[in-house]
Homo-oligomer: A and B are copies of this chain.
Amino acid sequence: MTILRPIILLAIITFVKPTRALWPLPNQLSTGSTLIKLADDFDITLEAINSAPQDLVDAVARTKDFIANDKLQRLVVGRGSSDSEGLASAPSVPILALSMDSGFTDSQARSLSEESMDVLENRVEAYSLIIPADGSQAELKANSTLGLFRGLTTFSQLWYDLDGTTYSVEGPIEIKDEPAYPYRGLMLDTARNFFPVSDIKRTLDAMSWVKINTFHWHIVDSQSFPLQVPDFPELASAGAYSSSMMYTPEDVKDIVDYAAARGIDVLPEIDTPGHTMIISKAFPEHIACAEAKPWASFANEPPAGQLRLASVSTMNFTQSLFTSVSSMFPGKFFSSGGDELNTNCYDQDPETQAELTASGKTLEEALDTFTQVTHGALHENGKTAVVWEEMVLEHNVTLSNDTVVMVWISSEHAASVAQAGFRFVHAPSDFFYLDCGAGEWIGADPEGNSWCDPFKTWQKSYTFDPTANLTENEKELVLGGEQLLWTEQSHPSNLDPIVWPRAASSAEVFWTGPGGDVSTALPRLHDIAFRMNQRGIGAIALQPLYCALRPGVCDLDS
């Protein structure tokens, strides 16, 4: 796998001439200053694609819908009204023609969905886009269906509306683009509070618009088990918040298909052996310290409860659970969790102590066995295991070399994970946790604030450096990164505003590469936030509209 480096040229171009319409910023971009508009009968053609896959055809239709319906006015004083005169005589782009690069040898394009769920190192997201300013057709080329899809996404961000005319002030436009990192994710926790399928789909839409390609789905946790697992229906019937707060296998397929058709792979997480109290509602025999009090002695948050990792029966159960859940998700990654294991829970659990005594194992040795057995089930099902950082940094666990590690406790832990030789994803709480800073949710704590105060601003996440403190070799281990929403204090009513546009910041860090400047980024971030609003996403205002219409005027030093 090659990690592509952002090109220096980029910074120069953006400094001289911020192209406000695009997020994430393409890897190579050159723009002019000619007004160009889309023809009244503008069309996107797939004629050059041999048997264009249906999901690409659908993506083209959605792109045309966005272009027709975004109706986003330019974010400048006057909202573009001064463009009116020039537009009368501006050249019209008649067609965007999609084609495969000449180097592309497949006789038939693969489907977008297939490519979206392929192993990470096989995904090709590069594309090139040329929009002339002379009235000739625009051209989008790629070596993959996924690349064409990314190009369509970029194309749909280029256009503004003035009285029904769809136009850009920056023709001609030439873009060559590919991501700096292959993994760009967003994590959603659907266990602390439940989110209907419609909320997840809306989030997937917004993710795809900023080229996020992984939906890390923390499906279940100690608080609830909303997943209907085919072989274990008791888990959801006893553990979901209600019969209407469940994801059926059909819901999961719906979500997975919807994501894949938008260039997004779903990475499911069944957190083990901690964060599993709710399993006790259906299978009490598998859970130690279920709802034990005081919870703070048994878990990092209420309710306590962990899988009896030393029990052969529990290992078998977990193995079967992983196998059954694996069958629901066609993607290659599967997270077994592994965070926040509480030792006291097992010390106080007679069953676990008896198992340890009988087997002659320490708790760490039992955890090693548990992990190998349960990860074995993942490997048998063709999955690559994903774990939270403690599995590498805090425990002596044998992990296969291809295991992917999520760094979450601190960005400073990335180097240690790299030193252990594992590929990893940046998900550090000090940069990327979207829930921080919204106060204490634990009860009876009048002076409490969130454990990870302060709020992680978009500026904070945007200035993240993925290769800080890494050697050249270790840099190759960075797969990318993701922002995360833990939902102790979120449910559908604040999903959009807590996520957008903030989560776009890491999307640009890991697509365009790090080093972007917050001053030139802000107008573009406004732009994508306003475009999201036009498309039905409740992204928040980052500034007063006065400032959004006057780039730089509300800067600290302005």
Q: How large is the interface on A (under 10, 10 to 19, 20 to 34, 35 or more residues)?
A: 35 or more
Partner of A446, one of B450, B463, B541: B463
Interface flag for A106 (CB, 8 Å): no
**Chain B residues, Cβ within 8 Å of A293:** 558
* A539 adjacent to B303 (CB under 8 Å): no
- Residue numbers of A with Cβ under 8 A of B are 79, 191-194, 222-224, 241-242, 291, 293-296, 301-303, 437-450, 453-460, 462-463, 487-491, 493-494, 496-498, 518-519, 522, 533, 538-547, 552-558
Q: Would you give 13 A-B contacts (Cβ < 8 Å), ordered by A? A: A222-B546, A241-B545, A296-B556, A302-B558, A442-B555, A444-B518, A444-B555, A445-B459, A448-B457, A448-B459, A455-B455, A493-B541, A494-B497
**Chain B residues, Cβ within 8 Å of A437:** 437-438, 454-455
* A554 adjacent to B302 (CB under 8 Å): yes
Q: A491-B541, A543-B489, A544-B223 are in contact. Are A455 and B438 (CB under 8 A)?
A: yes
Q: A439-B457, A459-B446, A539-B493 are in contact. Are A294 and B557 (CB under 8 A)?
A: yes
Partner of A554, one of B442, B458, B546: B442
In Å, the complex CA distance between A554 and B241 comes to 16
With a 10 A CB-CB cut-off, give which of A488, A522, A552, A554 has the most chain B CB atoms: A554
In Å, the complex CA distance between A542 and B193 comes to 10
Distance of A276 from chain B, by nearest CB (Å): 13
**Chain B residues, Cβ within 8 Å of A498:** 497
**Chain B residues, Cβ within 8 Å of A450:** 455
* A553 adjacent to B497 (CB under 8 Å): no
New A-B pairs, 19, CB < 8 Å, besides A444-B557, A446-B518, A488-B541: A79-B242, A192-B545, A222-B546, A223-B547, A294-B558, A295-B554, A302-B547, A303-B553, A439-B454, A439-B455, A443-B555, A445-B459, A446-B460, A447-B459, A447-B460, A489-B540, A490-B541, A491-B545, A494-B538
